Amino acid sequence: MKMRLFGAACAISVLSSPAALADPGWSGEGALAAGLTTGNTETTDVGLGLEVEYEGGVYTHHGELAFDYAEQDGLESKNRIFGAYQLDRQLSDRLFGFFRTSYERDEFSGFDNRVFVGVGLGYDVIDNAATTWSVKAAPGLRIDEIASAPATATAPAVVGGTEETFAVVLGSEFEHAFNDAVTLSNNTEILYSEVSTQTSNRIALTAQMTDTLSARMSFEARHESDPPAGREETDTTTRFGLVYGF
C-alpha cells in the first residue's frame, strides 16, 4: 500500500511542480481524501486523485488519475485505479468534438480491467462566470476482462474471459460558484454496452481556504446494471479531503 500511495503522490508532485506551472496553459488539482465505502466492500479507505488540463488554441487536453485503497483486519479490501484522457477540439463557441479513452482496474468489482475508446461531440449548455454545464456523447469500443471466481454458497463459479462490445458514453459536467470561496459540482457519466451499463454520479462541495488549498466533501454512487455473479450492483463512497489547486 505504501509504495502505491508513494507512486501516486510522486505523480501529483511532478505535474504540479514549478516547471509545469510556468506554462499558463496548464491548470489542475491534486487531492488527498479519506472516506467510507459501501457496496461490494464495507471499508474506510484512502484516495488520491489528480486532474490536469492543458489549453492551447482550439485544442484542450484533459487527464485524470484516481487511486483508492483500503484494508480490513489486515487484508486488502479495496484496490481501484482509474485513468482517463480526453482531447477536445473546439468547433464553435459552444460545440466541440472530442476523443476519449479510459482505463479501470478494480480487483473487487469482478472485472480485472475495463477499457473504453471513443470519439464524439460535446456542447456547452451554460458558460458564464458563475455556472458552467457541458454535455457530451460518444460511441466507441469497450473491452472488459472478467475475473474468474470459484463457486460459493451464494453464487456460482465465474469463468473469466475478454469481451469486446460496441459502447456509448454519455456525460454531464456541472459546476456552480456560490461565491469566490464555495463551489458545487455534479458530474455524471453513463457507459452503455451490451455486457453491462455503468452509471456514476459524483456531487462535491469545495470550500477554498487559501489561494491554492481547499477542503472538499463529496458523495459518489456507481451502479453496474449486470455485475458478475456474487457482486453488488451499487457502490457508494463518501469522502472528506484536501485539494491543492494549480
Q: Which of 145-149, 195-199, 214-218 has the lowest mean pLDDT?
A: 145-149
**What would the pLDDT profile of 97-110 be if each residue is shown by its tens digit?**
999 999 999 877 66
The share of the chain scoring above pLDDT 70, in percent, equals 82
Domain-embedded: residue 24: no
What does the buried/exposed string (b/e) look like for 170-195 if buried means 16 or more CB atoms within 10 Å of the residue's CB? ebebbbebeeeeebebeebbbbbbeb
Domain-embedded: residue 25: no
Whether the predicted pLDDT of 156 surpasses 60? no
pLDDT at 149: 57
Domain-embedded: residue 127: yes
Q: What is the CATH number of the domain that holds 167?
A: 2.40.160.40
Residues in the chain: 246
Domain-embedded: residue 13: yes
The better pLDDT of the pair 160, 18 is held by 160
The better pLDDT of the pair 214, 228 is held by 214
Domain-embedded: residue 192: yes
pLDDT at 90: 97
Q: Which triple of cell numbers denotes residue 237?
A: 463512497
**What would the pLDDT profile of 55-72 be if each residue is shown by its tens digit?**
999 999 999 999 988 877
The better pLDDT of the pair 114, 14 is held by 114
Domain-embedded: residue 26: no
Whether the predicted pLDDT of 230 surpasses 60? yes
Whether the predicted pLDDT of 185 surpasses 80? yes
Question: Any idea what DSSP says for residue 74?
Answer: T
CA dist 47 and 70 (Å) reads 9
CA dist 96 and 227 (Å) reads 33
What residue numbers bound the domain in which 52 lies? Answer: 2-18+31-245
**Mean per-residue pLDDT of the chain:** 85
Taking residues 165-180, what's their average pLDDT? 96
Instruction: Say if residues 146 and 228 touch (Cβ distance below 8 Å).
Output: yes
Q: How many structural domains does the chain have?
A: 1
Taking residues 109-131, what's their average pLDDT? 91
CA-to-CA dists, residue 74 to 70, 77, 102, angstroms: 10, 9, 31
Domain-embedded: residue 23: no
The better pLDDT of the pair 86, 158 is held by 86
Q: Which triple of cell numbers denotes residue 191?
A: 457507459
* pTM of this structure: 0.80
